[in-house]
Amino acid sequence: MDALAFGLTYGLPALGAAFGVGFIGAAALNALGRNPEKLSDIRTLMITAIVFADSLAIIGIIVAIIAKFL
């Protein structure tokens, strides 16, 4: 039962982060298709947004590890 709780505690935030990164990438490509001369601005914003989305997965693994050992 502990393994299932650990898997779900990490798996759900990782799944959310993966969907978030996918949506961010799709939106960035859409914006780049509409306005190609703003490549550097769009890339900077996309990387910043991906970092925030991936921080959810990092927080999820930290919470999963803390919950496993408490």
Structure-token match 């898997």, residue found: 7
pTM of the model: 0.84
Tens-digit pLDDT profile for residues 49-69: 999 999 988 998 898 888 888
3-state secondary structure of 65: helix
pLDDT of residue 44: 97
The token pair that represents 65 in the structure block: 């590890």
Separation of alpha carbons 29 and 31, rounded Å = 5
Residue range 8-47, pLDDT digits in tens: 888 898 999 999 999 999 999 999 999 999 999 999 999 9
Q: Catalogue all structural domains in the chain, each as residue range(s) with its CATH number.
A: 2-69 (1.20.20.10)
* Burial of residue 64, with CB atoms counted within 10 A of its CB: 0-12 exposed, 13-18 middle, 19 or more buried: buried
Structure tokens at 68: 């496993």
Answer whether 57's CB lies under 8 Å from 14's CB. Answer: yes
